[in-house]
Amino acid sequence: MGLITPEEYKESLKDGRIVYYEGEKVEDITTHPALKVCVETAAMDYEMAETPEYRDLAVVAHPKTGEPISRYYYTPQNAEDLLKRHELMVTATRLGGGVIPFIHDIGADTLNAVNITANMMGKDEYKQRAEDYRYYLQKNDLSAASAVTDVKGDRMLRPSSPKQAHPDYYVRVVDKDDKGITVRGAKAHITASAYCKELFVIPCRNMTEEDKDYAVAFAIPVNTKGVKQICHPITWRLSSLEFPNDLPIRNHTDSLIVFDDVFVPWERVFLCGEWQYAMALVYNFAYLHRHTAASYRIPVSEVMVGAAQAMAEYNGIDKVPHIREKITNLVIYVDTLKSLARASCMDYITHAGIPIPNTVISNIAKYHFADNLHNCIKAIEDIAGGLLITVPTYKDYQNPETRDYIEKYLGGKAGIPTEHRLRMMQLIRRRLATFETEVLALHAEGSLQAQRMTIYGESMPEIQKYKEWAEIAAGIKK
């Protein structure tokens, strides 16, 4: 057992995995111009474990052997453990300039969800498999992605409905024998899977008995035969039209993962036909993952406040009442998110023997940042002004024939260099006020309605208690 180095992580990715990017098969993701940016972003997890300043956050002693393991794969025992994991994610995202490494945290959410579901089922075989797999990840310090979202086809139809255009819109078992199962289907929007070593696959919805072939959960190496990934393109370098920046670019891609009759040995299977527990596994993952989402959104939200304040000062409007009101709203937004994320850890619940962040508070945190993000971006855009999209390029700024005009006419408040103003606008365009940012907040970790459903369902015992108190206050009950 032992932690691996960033270089060992990168070398481990040269394993024959099948990955496509912009229409071409990638021979080596560690040297591919775009995907190597993702690999370097992911490697921050391993770098933190080697850095004395962050080691106590990133590393914890194995409870039985005492050897160092990733904190992500440690089963939390109390609020302190949950808060440390929360702080690890916040710190990692700050170090990544607003991008979290994403190669342990989501996999750990699924790992804990699988453990919890196995405990709920009371099936010793599954509980042992889950614990054995946890030990395997700990011992080898492996990265793991989570494939949750099925492609779905007609969303009004069940997975097994004969009205679906074909039966493979949801991952399903197509064969099984004494050695294992064979699965077919596809998962979409899967972050970091192209540069992880292991792949968790779990359902994304409730199932009926007719859907039992789709009630399947398992884990496999990413280079397993029949697994193919098609990545979406990302921004992996600054164009010549943008101001250069010495900070490394951090980014991730997501994959459409095709399971083309993939064999999974029984020891890697955590659900197979137990349709009654498919939704429980989905919820157990969502409970955990929405806290993860709230954690990594905190540094991004802090930068939003900082960019808004900077642009207000650069434009000379920082003392205008309605501008201060907008910035105050941004402060309320980020501090509410911080408080909710921490409160969910301190007010944790124990779910099937494992402490997890409070499910209602975690979902409120996720809903808060997603539902209010559009107004936050609107405020930043209003403060920054229309130059966000009409500003001349860095090439124009470099051109001696035009630079003086840009310096003279695109300056703001006296004493603020024009270049600083233009660079801040570039940050807002690239990282904050983007289409990708808004879509990610809205749909990642579940839709707004999914959070509302969870908040309502999980709050029902409290709602009934409040109802009883109201009836007592009204003289209906004594």
Mean pLDDT taken over the chain: 95
Q: Which fold has domain 279-467?
A: Butyryl-CoA Dehydrogenase, subunit A; domain 3 (1.20.140)
pLDDT band at 87 (very low <50, low <70, confident <90, very high): very high
Q: Can you give the residue ranges of every domain in the chain?
A: 6-273, 279-467
Q: Check pLDDT > 70 for residue 1.
A: no
Euclidean distance between CA atoms 361 and 345, whole angstroms: 9
Euclidean distance between CA atoms 143 and 101, whole angstroms: 10
Token pair 């007719």: residue: 210
Compute the average pLDDT of residues 425-447: 84
Q: Check pLDDT > 80 for residue 435.
A: no
Pairing state between β 269-272 and 254-265: unpaired
Do the beta carbons of residue 338 and residue 298 sit within 8 Å? yes
Task: Quote the pLDDT of residue 139.
Answer: 95
Task: Quote the pLDDT of residue 375.
Answer: 94
User: Which CATH number applies to 6-273?
Assistant: 2.40.110.10
In the numeric block, which tokens belong to residue 207? 């199932």
Compute the average pLDDT of residues 355-363: 96
Q: What are phi and psi of 160, to 5 degrees?
A: -90, 0
Euclidean distance between CA atoms 397 and 386, whole angstroms: 18
Task: Quote the pLDDT of residue 442.
Answer: 78
Do the beta carbons of residue 201 and residue 171 sit within 8 Å? yes
6-273 and 279-467 in the same fold: no
- In the chain, pLDDT over 90 holds for what percent of residues? 94
Q: What is the pLDDT of residues 54-85, one digit of tens each?
A: 999 999 999 989 999 999 999 999 999 999 99
In the numeric block, which tokens belong to residue 117? 């579901």
Q: Cα 81 to chain center, whole Å?
A: 20
Compute the average pLDDT of residues 367-396: 95
Q: What is the pLDDT of residues 134-171, one digit of tens each?
A: 999 999 999 999 999 999 999 999 999 999 999 999 99
Compute the average pLDDT of residues 266-295: 96
